[in-house]
């Protein structure tokens, strides 16, 4: 790879004119009819994984050129064990070959030498073809659990997105706790994220150390952005989880850069919600266009 | 499976008379000479994974009957991608077939439907052969990220170990933060763990919802045990990370039950530290015996 993650992402957003990241969350039970074998628990696992992979390769095909990035969610692949993981690798490789930025949504986090193994597995391994451009990581284990991922960012021009304030209701249980020194846990982590990323700011002005902040928390977004002014955000929870475009304004004070807005089910399974008839891929393509139009007012000057 | 995780674990500790869990952390660079192909980056990945698997099957063989449990660390398998994950599945299946309790050290954590997919991948999937008996999980995303794992515990007689206070120095960064309402983050999580596990206490008196507390924090162990009186603990950090048997007394107020003490490198790679000569497996077996003797005074009445 040829440039820091942050700068490559900046270029991809520039080229496509939108900050959409399509979440590749292949819930097996929701796949279109032509991939029905994937949801048949009685079918051989390898066949199920192959059907899931075929579906996702079609999704990658419709994303290429239309959006800057995709975000495969490891859990839905791991449900199919080693066969699912093999599919994950091939989907990542296909997305990269199609010019998409790939953010592996793996939410890994562990102590030093183990975190280094995860970083090698996701980001900096020698077999480059299926390495992700960036990965999501969990900060519960502290600085020395993040350092190996940052080392991988340097070594492989990769990026990370640290969980700061997640989109789910239960995210508040820990992340919204008030600290004795003032502020909340999420704000404390946000400050740490800004520090971890300070040395990894690229020519674009953005760091390769990003943060996950739920699109479901518009009231907190501004304060978190202030604590992380050079941190690219990853905003899940738009659409299905209730996040709206209007609520994301604080993330886009600087044009379409600075944040990616994720949609998973709203795009992958658009056919299940819209009027029946027509091919699923057309419904998904229309959902991408609708999302692009919905977000555009946020950063039209 | 026939009984709640907590009760099966209790029986396994009873049968072997020791609370040792052997961490299966196959650092490729540390494998004995006869598995050298595993560390050869130029060798085909499947061959490297096969060598790693052969090593671990020997380790499982020496653990069977000698200790109650093994804890494969997912990261070191994932370094070898889908081939490594296939090896993980076969090692888990072999360990279970040998009568060992298997704790998958995966440290997963994600929002609802994704957490459900991880729980299915690790604990409650239909292909039972390679499902783990328990898994480690990360609490950063809150209650609704833990619920799907608890559902899996019920459905599959499985267990979880929630990260509370990890063994690494950086663990303090978040876990030792003082809260405005008093106490630390780790104590807050400990209270939540006790609540999550209250309905899953088996006939042994222990819950199937456990907690990870580093053996490197003897001063905190007593207070955390008080907050989690029925919670089985998983204590990493003994040996290589500096934890001593004497520091673990507060975890064993009730005999050898109530906690598992993990050793990974100290057992797997004992040959690299001891006097040269002899087979690695003999060195590992001696390390298990030495650890058993080191821990015994803790719960000898």
> Which DSSP letter does residue B126 get?
S
- Give the separation between CA A100 and CA A22, rounded to whole angstroms: 10
Specify the pairing of strand B20-24 against strand B69-72: parallel
Query: Looking at the predicted structure, is the pLDDT value of residue B2 above 70?
Result: yes
The predicted model gives A81-109 an average pLDDT of: 98
- Give the separation between CA A239 and CA A174, rounded to whole angstroms: 24
Measured from the Cβ of residue B151, the count of other Cβ atoms closer than 10 Å reads 16
Nearest to B179 among A45, A73, A179 (CB): A179
Question: How high is the pLDDT of residue B241?
Answer: 82
- Give the separation between CA B293 and CA B301, rounded to whole angstroms: 15
Nearest to B173 among A107, A142, A170 (CB): A142
Query: Looking at the predicted structure, is the pLDDT value of residue B272 above 90?
Result: no
Query: Quick check: A181 and B178 CB within 8 A?
Result: yes
Query: Looking at the predicted structure, is the pLDDT value of residue B254 above 90?
Result: no
Q: Computed from CA positions of residues A107, A111, A112, A117, in that sequence, does the dihedral angle turn out positive or negative?
A: negative
For B84, name the nearest residue in chain A, comparing CA atoms only: A82
Query: Quick check: A115 and B173 CB within 8 A?
Result: no
Mutate to test the interface with A, among B28, B53, B84, B141 (most CBs of A within 10 A): B141
Query: Quick check: B79 and A120 CB within 8 A?
Result: yes
Query: Quick check: B174 and A140 CB within 8 A?
Result: yes
Nearest to A76 among B117, B145, B168 (CB): B117
CA distances from B76 to A182, B106, B183 (A): 39, 11, 35
Measured from the Cβ of residue A58, the count of other Cβ atoms closer than 10 Å reads 17
Residues of B in contact with A143 (CB under 8 A): 170, 173
Provide the pLDDT confidence category of residue B242 given band limits of 50, 70 and 90: confident
Residues of A in contact with B117 (CB under 8 A): 27, 73, 75-76, 78-79
Question: How high is the pLDDT of residue B301?
Answer: 57
Provide the pLDDT confidence category of residue A80 given band limits of 50, 70 and 90: very high
Cβ(B88)–Cβ(B57) under 8 Å? no
Higher pLDDT, B199 or B276: B199
Residues of A in contact with B110 (CB under 8 A): 73, 75, 107
The predicted model gives A105-124 an average pLDDT of: 97
Provide the pLDDT confidence category of residue B274 given band limits of 50, 70 and 90: low
Nearest to A179 among B85, B167, B180 (CB): B180
The predicted model gives A81-96 an average pLDDT of: 98
Residues of A in contact with B108 (CB under 8 A): 75, 107
Nearest to B111 among A166, A178, A180 (CB): A166
* Burial bucket for residue B260 (CB in 10 Å: 0-12, 13-18, 19+): buried
Cβ(A252)–Cβ(A222) under 8 Å? no
The predicted model gives A111-132 an average pLDDT of: 95
For B147, name the nearest residue in chain A, comparing CA atoms only: A170
Question: How high is the pLDDT of residue A294?
Answer: 97
Residues of A annotated as catalytic are 107
Query: Looking at the predicted structure, is the pLDDT value of residue A254 above 90?
Result: no
- Give the separation between CA B100 and CA B70, rounded to whole angstroms: 7
What is the distance in angstroms between the Cα of B24 and the nearest Cα belonging to chain A? 12
Tell me which residue of B76, B83, B8 sits closest to B43, measured CA to CA.
Answer: B83
Measured from the Cβ of residue A7, the count of other Cβ atoms closer than 10 Å reads 18
Residues of B in contact with A170 (CB under 8 A): 111, 141-146
Query: Quick check: B139 and A174 CB within 8 A?
Result: yes
Mutate to test the interface with B, among A48, A86, A90, A168 (most CBs of B within 10 A): A168
Q: At what angle do helices B218-227 and B185-197 cross, to 10 degrees?
A: 40
Measured from the Cβ of residue B77, the count of other Cβ atoms closer than 10 Å reads 29
Maximum C-alpha span of chain A: 57
- Give the separation between CA B265 and CA A167, rounded to whole angstroms: 38
Provide the pLDDT confidence category of residue B298 given band limits of 50, 70 and 90: very high
Question: What's phi and psi for B254, nearest 5 deg?
Answer: -130, 45
What is the distance in angstroms between the Cα of A14 and the nearest Cα belonging to chain B? 30
The predicted model gives A122-137 an average pLDDT of: 95
- Give the separation between CA B27 and CA A112, rounded to whole angstroms: 13
Residues of A in contact with B121 (CB under 8 A): 75, 78-79, 81
The predicted model gives B169-178 an average pLDDT of: 97
Nearest to A144 among B41, B112, B169 (CB): B169
Residues of A in contact with B86 (CB under 8 A): 81-82
Query: Looking at the predicted structure, is the pLDDT value of residue B276 above 80?
Result: no
Provide the pLDDT confidence category of residue A204 given band limits of 50, 70 and 90: very high
- Give the separation between CA A110 and CA A153, rounded to whole angstroms: 17
| Residue A186, helix vs strand vs coil | helix
The predicted model gives A256-275 an average pLDDT of: 91
In chain A, domain spans? 5-183+207-214+230-298
How far from chain centre, in Å, is Cα A9? 12
Query: Looking at the predicted structure, is the pLDDT value of residue A183 above 90?
Result: yes
pTM above 0.95, yes or no: yes
Measured from the Cβ of residue A100, the count of other Cβ atoms closer than 10 Å reads 24
CATH number of A5-183+207-214+230-298: 3.20.20.70
Measured from the Cβ of residue B254, the count of other Cβ atoms closer than 10 Å reads 13
Provide the pLDDT confidence category of residue B278 given band limits of 50, 70 and 90: confident
Mutate to test the interface with B, among A24, A111, A136 (most CBs of B within 10 A): A111
Could you identify the residue written with the tokens 């609704």? B144
What is the distance in angstroms between the Cα of B148 and the nearest Cα belonging to chain A? 13
Q: Does domain B5-298 have CATH number 3.20.20.70?
A: yes
- Give the separation between CA B230 and CA B249, rounded to whole angstroms: 16
Query: Quick check: B166 and A140 CB within 8 A?
Result: yes
To the nearest whole number, what is the mean pLDDT of chain A?
95
Question: How high is the pLDDT of residue B182?
Answer: 94
Rounded to a whole number of angstroms, the distance between the first and last alpha carbons of chain A is: 32
Q: At what angle do helices B45-63 and B280-295 cross, to 10 degrees?
A: 50
Residue B46: CB partners within 8 Å, gap ≥ 6?
Answer: B83
What is the distance in angstroms between the Cα of B10 and the nearest Cα belonging to chain A? 27
Residue B15: CB partners within 8 Å, gap ≥ 6?
Answer: B68
Q: What percent of chain A has pLDDT over 90?
A: 92
For A88, name the nearest residue in chain B, comparing CA atoms only: B82
Question: What's phi and psi for B167, nearest 5 deg?
Answer: -80, -15
How many A-B residue pairs are in contact by the CB < 8 A criterion? 192
Question: How high is the pLDDT of residue A178?
Answer: 98
Provide the pLDDT confidence category of residue B195 given band limits of 50, 70 and 90: very high
Mutate to test the interface with B, among A27, A81, A178, A186 (most CBs of B within 10 A): A81
What is the distance in angstroms between the Cα of A66 and the nearest Cα belonging to chain B? 26
Question: How high is the pLDDT of residue A272?
Answer: 86
Question: How high is the pLDDT of residue B239?
Answer: 85
ipTM over 0.90: yes
Query: Looking at the predicted structure, is the pLDDT value of residue B48 above 60?
Result: yes
- Give the separation between CA A214 and CA B7, rounded to whole angstroms: 39
pLDDT, tens digit, 9 for 90 and up, residues A166-177: 999 999 999 999
Instruction: Give kind and range of the element (H or E) at residue B21.
Output: strand B20-24
Residues of B in contact with A178 (CB under 8 A): 179-181
The predicted model gives A36-43 an average pLDDT of: 93
The predicted model gives B254-276 an average pLDDT of: 89
Query: Looking at the predicted structure, is the pLDDT value of residue A1 above 60?
Result: no
The predicted model gives A190-210 an average pLDDT of: 98
* Burial bucket for residue A17 (CB in 10 Å: 0-12, 13-18, 19+): middle
pLDDT, tens digit, 9 for 90 and up, residues B150-170: 999 999 999 999 999 999 999
Residues of A in contact with B107 (CB under 8 A): 108-110, 138
């Amino acid at each position: 790879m040829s440039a820091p993650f942050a700068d490559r992402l900046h270029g991809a957003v520039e080229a496509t004119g939108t900050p959409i990241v399509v979440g590749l969350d292949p819930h097996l039970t929701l796949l279109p009819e032509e991939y029905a074998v994937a949801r048949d628990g009685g079918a051989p696992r390898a066949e199920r994984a192959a059907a899931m992979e075929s579906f996702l390769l079609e999704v990658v095909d419709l994303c290429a050129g239309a959006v800057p990035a995709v975000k495969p969610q490891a859990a839905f692949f791991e449900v199919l064990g080693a066969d699912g993981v093999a599919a994950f690798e091939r989907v990542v490789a296909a997305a990269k070959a199609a010019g998409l930025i790939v953010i592996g949504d793996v939410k890994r986090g562990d102590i030093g030498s183990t975190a280094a193994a995860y970083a090698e597995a996701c980001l900096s391994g020698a077999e480059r073809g299926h390495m992700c451009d960036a990965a999501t990581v969990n900060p519960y284990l502290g600085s020395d659990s993040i350092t190996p991922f940052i080392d991988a960012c340097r070594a492989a021009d990769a990026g990370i997105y640290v969980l700061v304030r997640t989109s789910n209701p239960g995210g508040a249980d820990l992340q919204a706790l008030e600290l004795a020194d003032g502020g909340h846990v999420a704000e404390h982590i946000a400050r740490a994220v800004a520090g971890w990323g300070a040395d990894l700011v690229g020519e674009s002005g953005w760091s390769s150390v990003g943060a996950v902040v739920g699109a479901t928390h518009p009231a907190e977004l501004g304060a978190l952005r202030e604590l992380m002014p050079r941190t690219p955000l990853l905003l899940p929870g738009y659409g299905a989880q209730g996040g709206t475009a209007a609520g994301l304004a604080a993330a886009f004070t600087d044009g379409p850069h600075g944040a990616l807005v994720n949609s998973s089910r709203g795009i992958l399974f658009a056919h299940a919600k819209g009027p029946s008839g027509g091919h699923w891929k057309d419904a998904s393509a229309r959902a991408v266009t609708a999302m692009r139009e919905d977000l555009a007012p946020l950063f039209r000057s």
